[in-house]
Amino acid sequence: MRTIKRSGEHELEIKKSRFLCALARVEHEDEAREFIRSRRRAHVNAGHHCSAYVLDDAQRSSDDGEPAGTAGVPMLEVLRRRELTGVVAVVSRYYGGVKLGAGGLIRAYGGVVAEAVDLLGVVERRPVLLVSTVVDYLRAGKLDNELRNSRFRLAGAEYGAEVRFRISVEENALAEFGEWLAGLTAGQAEYTVDGSGYVEVDLTNG
């Protein structure tokens, strides 16, 4: 799944109207609703607080008093087109005295969300298996160095009588990891699967 790299804000001004977009990562609808409420509290003088969010099990949008379909829907469409989930967007509008028309509003609300996503970046959350392997100190340095230059992600290391490495391995690469580890340690090291989780891969630069 894809989501924004970090939470943040971006502002766009069109014909003296200010469109202040805030994006946040959320896991549940309650979090999304609370974020929307927090933006209302933070910008009490704004005329509208339009919103959209996408979760695994829900998609919602609100025009908050703007003409129907001119704010929340284009905001939601940006999140959908970018294939994002776990994200809430709120655009607080300060009216500048010049009417933008339906088309202008659609471009403004969709545009500020798109620019905010570009600014904050996108990551892909990929499922991984959490594995561990134990080696002696003679092999630890080489294994540490090779891990940092491999497709496998070093999650941590514990130093005792021996060294235990914790490694994130994509689910479809477990067999490849086993072969890689055996080749690197002349078959002396084995691994165990301790659990599962996710890693985030930055897609900002393609």
Q: What is the pLDDT of residues 8-22, one digit of tens each?
A: 999 999 999 999 999
Give the chain's domains with CATH numbers.
2-120 (3.30.230.30), 124-202 (3.30.70.240)
Q: Does the structure show a pLDDT above 50 at 206?
A: no
- The pLDDT score that the predictor gives to residue 70 is 97
Nearest to 121 by CA among 204, 201, 199, 200: 204
Q: Does the structure show a pLDDT above 50 at 195?
A: yes
Rounded to 5°, angle at Cα 200 from 1 and 86: 40
Q: Does the structure show a pLDDT above 80 at 199?
A: no
- The number of angstroms, rounded, from the C-alpha of 91 to the middle of its chain's C-alpha atoms is 19
Q: Does the structure show a pLDDT above 70 at 205?
A: no
Q: Look over the chain and give the mean of its residue pLDDT values, rounded to a whole number.
A: 94
150-166 average pLDDT score: 93
Phi/psi of residue 126, nearest 5 degrees? -110, 135
Q: Which two tokens stand for residue 177?
A: 């990891």
One-letter amino acid at 198 equals: Y
Percent of the chain at pLDDT exceeding 90 = 85
Name the DSSP class of 164. E
- The tens digit of pLDDT for each residue in 75-111 reads 999 999 999 999 999 999 999 999 999 999 999 999 9
> What is the band of 119 on the pLDDT scale with cuts at 50, 70, 90?
very high
Question: Could you tell me the pTM of the whole model?
Answer: 0.77
Beta carbons within 8 Å of 85's beta carbon, 6+ residues apart: 1, 2, 3, 54, 55, 56
The rounded distance, in Å, linking the Cα atoms of 95 and 118 is 25
